[in-house]
Chains A and B, each alone.
Chain A
Amino acid sequence: MENSEKSKNRPRIGVYVCHCGLNIARTVDCEKVAHMAGELEDVVVAKDVSYACSEPGQHSIKEDILANNLDRVVVASCSPRLHEPTFRQMVQAAGLNPYILDMANLREHCSWVHMDDPDAATEKAMDLTRMSVARVRSLQPLEPETLPLTKRTLVIGGGIAGIQAALDLADNGYEVVLVEKRAAIGGTMAQLDKTFPTMDCSI
């Protein structure tokens, strides 16, 4: 009920610009980026934070979401390939759907690669944040589907690694299919004499 009512109104976006210690803040003027973001349409709150991913960082964003009744969040920090799951969990903990989050990559794609040009890096950071706000505005909540799963593992290769993995899985009650291209398992390890550092037999 509340959700459908919300969607009729304008989105309420929170923007959090992370310093990542000095990783971002040494090159990018995070305060300026946050200030710019605060002026954007639908942005209710925009702040710079020292470490968004830290426990206190996440806590303060969560509190903000609740206090300002936010329904969309932009975290301008590092690569989403690293911390998107972290921040999705964070917004979920604040009662929002995890898919209404977007990240602007101010570290890998900006501060770390334009270290000698802080002004241009800050300009770029503002653009990336602006783009992220534009995107987050129309993000929709999504629900994952639950699918059945086969509790079996294929292990390709019967050398020491394949053998160890197969045994660990099988000893834990999982079925294993072990495929080895040679006529016997053991791989390169079986050909070795003594092995370091213990100087004992390989087989």
Chain B
Amino acid sequence: MTDVGRHPRIKLYTLSEVVDVKGYVGNFDVKILKKARYVDEKECTACGDCTKVCPVVRPDEFNLGLSSRKAIYSPFPQAVPSAYVINVNECLGQNPAVCSKCIDACEKGCINFHMSDEEIVENVGTIIVATGMEPYDPTEMDEYGYTRFENVLTSLEFERLVNAGGPTRGEVIRPSDHKRPRSIGFVQCVGSRSARKGKSYCSNVCCMNTVKSTLVLKEHAPDMEVKVFYIDIRAFGKGFEDLYKRSRRLGVQYLRGLPGTVEELPNGSVRVAVENGATGALEFHDLDMLVLAVGVEPPQSTQRLQEMLGLQLTSDGFFLEAHPKLQPVDAATRGVFYAGCAEGPKDIKESVTQASAAAVRAIRLMHKGEISSEPITSEVIVERCKSCGRCAEVCPYHAITVDVKKKTPAVVNTAACAGCGTCAAECSFGAITMNHFTDKQILDQVDALLDQSPQEKILAFACNWCSYAGADYAGVSRLQYPPNVRLIRTMCSGRVDEKFIWEGFAKGAPVILVSGCHIGDCHYIDANHWTEKRVAKIHKKMDKLGIRPERLQLEWISAAEGIRFANVMNHLEALRKSVTPQEISQTVEILKADEKSVH
């Protein structure tokens, strides 16, 4: 940590959050909100004189409330930066100054109540997302009595208790009476691997963390009775099995089965009722203290960052990598990488490994000092442009400029264009070509598909990042679904032009699907809003023409939703079976007549 503080090439912003990201790979403009510390970071020598005089006492977050701190404090003894910080909501001394004892105590004059939050913009080429995790809050698992019984702790609280730098200087004492416990139990999978409460996934670190804790306890007090209640012990990593064996050898009892209930005894100890999986018998264990091995959750900031950077999440809520095996640290957004628990629960070694990988992936992109852009961008056909401004209006990247008043044709800034193709789909004059996904290229695919036996086929448009990837995921998972569907890939569902749909129905398609990322998850910021509006417009027109609107379906399927993709395919096939050959030929006739009336 100290290496970061003194590294000449690392600019550290603490008490700071990223509030906005603009731009693209190679040129991101990042807006950072730096909250006021009220203590000069450079001048403060961490002498602690201010803390001594501060009259406000509050629970210390670092020790999870097991000790107290003042309103001006150092986050923890080895903190980087070492400068103290004032929690302004707790401090009595600001505006008008009623206390200001710390100001008087600080010889160097580092404390300044006039500091204000700052907004800083930094230009960067790449971004590494290392937002970590939050421990599971076991309040909802009331059967373990976490909020009711003082001697039931989470594993992180226990960490602070056994830590030599912690509130008890490493002495294990139970909170209710400050006595040394003679017996301690650990409950595994609290908030993990549960379909009922908490999360369904394995949190990866809790088994080994508990094994470690039992070893620490046995080292402190070899006579202590230590019991672990578990489903399985997952000691899969290098050296893990040895630690587990050592723990058993030292007399730690591993009991298969999670407690049903926990009751408090008059002396503050707890009675744990558990069905022993080995014997099938209901057992009661009286323990002086109980530790809940809580799982790992994605932090709350995840969703906001996901929207800002156009990233995807897995169904577990962690960030989704570009490819689970081959690009495990890359985001689907070019220039963005993941490190640590942001991508999924992992231990320190894995986090360090992934962080180094992410750094190298970023370097690989940056070392040339220039970047070649994807040429899949849109292009204006100047002669056809009527300067209506529609393309500029729908572009999520503000990459198109049109002077509507002067009637100058639209201009695409190819560096800013990300290639979603929404502009081309929205242009009523055919004045925008989306390179590599031109009208002709897509219409030719539609025609080739519906050339023979169209009534048996389902035409589906899928965006590259979510729905097409969701179909890939269904494949990787070997989910079986009806074979009638054929996908046409576009980069974004926003590219799906109205005329592709009419062409499909005119060529005899019984059912058409448009699919993309969920609203709010669009890889192209919010281009799929236009998809939604467009489909609503087509539905209206279908209704007016006497074509059943259900035959055009719109579904949002994410890259992680293989099961959902397969379900949608089953639904579409049922829908297709409901469309009779008469209905299809009627539609073809209707559209032919409509075409004539237009021209």
B339 touches A164 (CB 8 A): yes
Bits for A125-167, please: 1 = Cβ < 8 Å to B, else 0: 0011011111101111011111111111111111111111111
A153 touches B323 (CB 8 A): no
Please give the distance in Å from B93's CB to the nearest CB on chain A.
18
A112 touches B340 (CB 8 A): no
Chain A residues near B472 (CB-CB < 8 A): 79, 81-82, 105, 108-109
Max chain B C-beta neighbours (<10 A), residue from A120, A156, A176, A198: A156
A189 touches B348 (CB 8 A): yes
A149 contact from B125, B209, B438, B566, Cβ within 8 A = B125
**B499, CB-defined interface residue at 8 Å:** no
A148 contact from B78, B341, B370, Cβ within 8 A = B370
B371 touches A154 (CB 8 A): no
A134 touches B435 (CB 8 A): no
Q: Which of B106-114, B129-137, B501-509 contacts A (4 or more CB under 8 A)?
A: B129-137
Distance in angstroms between the alpha carbons of A151 and B371 in the assembled complex: 11
**A68, CB-defined interface residue at 8 Å:** no
Chain A residues near B475 (CB-CB < 8 A): 79, 107-109, 112-113
**A38, CB-defined interface residue at 8 Å:** no
Please give the distance in Å from A187's CB to the nearest CB on chain B.
5
Tally B residues with Cβ within 8 Å of A: 131
Chain B residues near A107 (CB-CB < 8 A): 475
**A63, CB-defined interface residue at 8 Å:** no
Chain A residue at minimal CB-CB distance from B132: A159
With A113-B479, A157-B340 given, is the CB distance from A194 to B30 under 8 Å?
Answer: no
Chain A residues near B436 (CB-CB < 8 A): 99, 139-140, 142
Distance in angstroms between the alpha carbons of A140 and B188 in the assembled complex: 58
A153 touches B124 (CB 8 A): yes
With A161-B340, A196-B208 given, is the CB distance from A147 to B486 under 8 Å?
Answer: no
B363 touches A169 (CB 8 A): yes
Query: Which residues, 79 to 128 on B, are CB-close (under 8 Å) to A?
Result: 79-81, 85, 122-128
A134 touches B216 (CB 8 A): no
With A82-B326, A179-B32 given, is the CB distance from A152 to B125 under 8 Å?
Answer: yes
Distance in angstroms between the alpha carbons of A182 and B131 in the assembled complex: 12
A191 touches B132 (CB 8 A): no
Chain A residue at minimal CB-CB distance from B338: A161
B356 touches A165 (CB 8 A): yes
**A177, CB-defined interface residue at 8 Å:** yes
B209 touches A196 (CB 8 A): yes
B129 touches A157 (CB 8 A): yes
**B266, CB-defined interface residue at 8 Å:** no
**A66, CB-defined interface residue at 8 Å:** no
B62 touches A191 (CB 8 A): yes
Chain A residues near B376 (CB-CB < 8 A): 142
**A10, CB-defined interface residue at 8 Å:** no
B75 touches A184 (CB 8 A): yes
Chain A residues near B442 (CB-CB < 8 A): 135
Distance in angstroms between the alpha carbons of A174 and B368 in the assembled complex: 12
**A186, CB-defined interface residue at 8 Å:** yes
A115 contact from B80, B215, B478, Cβ within 8 A = B478
Chain B residues near A132 (CB-CB < 8 A): 445
Query: Which residues, 167 to 225 on B, are CB-close (under 8 Å) to A?
Result: 170, 208-209, 211-212, 215-216
B243 touches A156 (CB 8 A): no
B26 contact from A114, A142, A147, Cβ within 8 A = A147
**B76, CB-defined interface residue at 8 Å:** yes
Q: Which of B6-14, B579-587, B589-597 contacts A (4 or more CB under 8 A)?
A: B6-14
Distance in angstroms between the alpha carbons of A108 and B133 in the assembled complex: 32
A127 contact from B12, B449, B478, Cβ within 8 A = B449
A182 touches B216 (CB 8 A): no
Distance in angstroms between the alpha carbons of A110 and B386 in the assembled complex: 43
Distance in angstroms between the alpha carbons of A199 and B216 in the assembled complex: 9
- B-contacting residues of A (Cβ < 8 Å)? 79-82, 99, 105, 107-110, 112-117, 120-121, 123-124, 127-128, 130-135, 137-140, 142-170, 172-199, 202-203
In the complex, besides A138-B441, A150-B26, 11 extra interface pairs with C-beta distance below 8 angstroms are A81-B464, A113-B481, A123-B483, A124-B484, A140-B438, A146-B370, A164-B339, A176-B9, A177-B122, A181-B17, A191-B159
Q: For the complex of A and B, list the 10 residue pairs with the smallest distance between their C-beta atoms, beginning with the closest.
A: A161-B340, A108-B475, A149-B26, A162-B130, A164-B355, A168-B359, A184-B79, A134-B448, A197-B239, A142-B375
What are some 18 contacts across the A-B interface (CB < 8 A)?
A80-B489, A112-B476, A131-B445, A134-B447, A148-B371, A152-B126, A154-B28, A161-B341, A163-B1, A164-B355, A168-B355, A170-B9, A175-B11, A179-B16, A183-B79, A191-B64, A196-B208, A196-B211
